[in-house]
């Protein structure tokens, strides 16, 4: 994982490294905040549900976060702050509990 993270930080990650790191960090988030109130989408690599609360079974969940893989890795590792990602348009979050900034970073920068 360290080599994949180094490659992402250097802007030299290949598709497989980015997918691996994205899925791993989403799994860490889901373990840290288990639940299904928020759906975190990182297309085309993965989707994870997290945060306790309202449960949904069909359609869009009550809260959705959508972000590209490089931005997700930067958020999860502390290389980028949530508010900056939102301000710059690299992150879209909607619905109650969609602000995950209190859960990040998952890894220290």
Position 72 in a domain = yes
**CATH number for position 40:** 3.30.1050.40
According to DSSP, the β-strands at 38-42 and 91-94 are: unpaired
Kindly state the percentage of the chain with pLDDT values over 70.
Answer: 94
Question: 108 pLDDT band (50/70/90 cuts)?
Answer: low
Give domain status of residue 65, yes or no.
Answer: yes
Please give the tally of structural domains in the chain: 1
Considering the domain boundaries, does residue 9 fall inside one? yes
Q: For strand 46-50 and strand 38-42, is the pairing parallel, antiparallel, or unpaired?
A: antiparallel
Reported pTM: 0.91
pLDDT of residue 57: 66
Flag whether 93 is in a domain. yes
pLDDT beyond 90 at 65: yes
Q: What is the residue range of 86's domain?
A: 2-103
pLDDT at 83 over 60: yes
The confidence score (pLDDT) of residue 54 equals 76
Residue 61 maps to a domain: yes
Helix ranges, the chain (H): 2-9, 15-32, 69-77, 82-87
**Any domain includes 109:** no
Any domain includes 108: no
């Amino acid at each position: 994982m360290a080599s994949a993270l180094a490659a992402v930080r250097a802007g030299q990650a290949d598709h497989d490294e980015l997918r691996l790191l994205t899925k791993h960090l989403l799994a860490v988030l889901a373990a840290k905040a288990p639940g299904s109130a928020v759906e975190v989408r990182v297309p085309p690599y993965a989707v994870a549900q997290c945060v306790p609360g309202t449960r949904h079974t069909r359609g869009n969940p009550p809260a959705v976060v959508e972000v590209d893989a490089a931005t997700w890795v930067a958020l999860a590792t502390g290389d980028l702050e949530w508010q900056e990602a939102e301000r710059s348009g690299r992150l879209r979050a909607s619905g109650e509990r969609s602000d995950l900034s209190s859960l990040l970073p998952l890894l220290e920068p």
